Amino acid sequence: MDGSGSAPLALLKDYSRLEIRIPQNDQERDDLRRAILWICGQSETENFGICADDQSSAEAALGQYLQALDYDGAIAMEEQTIQGPVYLKCQSQSLRFYVASYEGSYRGVLISCQTEDEALAGTYGYFPLDLFAD
């Protein structure tokens, strides 16, 4: 992957469009994982937004992304359980999340990167829920 950041940034932007793009093979999945690790390594904090068919799928995806990004703190879990499709939001600073019902059709992970570098700051995704699954 390009050390300057232009290739990872271009790849992330290609996945950040109205039409959801799905990696078609292992190489594309690996490239996307590396690009996400790179952009998150450049940012001070991230917010994760996860749209999933149910709360347990959203929580599993969040755990996988946080583990891949070396967040090793305990996630502050919600005590409520939402039935049906959900939107889960988590802030990397506090590792707290909230979850709400979601009626949209998108499924996947959005990552909003906060950094002083305006070229990198922004929201990327939707990325596959299982991108960082074992």
Using pLDDT thresholds of 50, 70 and 90, give the confidence band for residue 18.
low
Q: What is the three-state SS of the chain?
A: CCCCCHHHHHHHHHCCCCCCCCCCCHHHHHHHHHHHHHHHHHCCEEEEEEEECCHHHHHHHHHHHHHHCCCCCCCECCCCCCCCCEEEEEECCCCEEEEEECCCCCCEEEEEEECCCCCCCEEEEEECCCCCCC
Q: Give the separation between CA 98 and CA 23, rounded to whole angstroms.
A: 28
User: Lowest-confidence range among 18-32, 45-59, 75-89?
Assistant: 75-89
Residue-wise pLDDT tens digits, 63-93: 999 999 999 866 776 677 899 999 999 999 9
Mean pLDDT of 29-46: 96
| Residue 1 confidence (pLDDT) | 46
Average pLDDT taken over every residue of the chain: 90
Segment 102-123 mean pLDDT = 94
- Domains of the chain, each with CATH number or no CATH: 6-127 (3.30.360.10)
Residue 100 is predicted with a pLDDT of: 94
What confidence score (pLDDT) does residue 69 get? 95
Q: What is the per-residue pLDDT for 9?
A: 86
pLDDT at 2 over 50: no
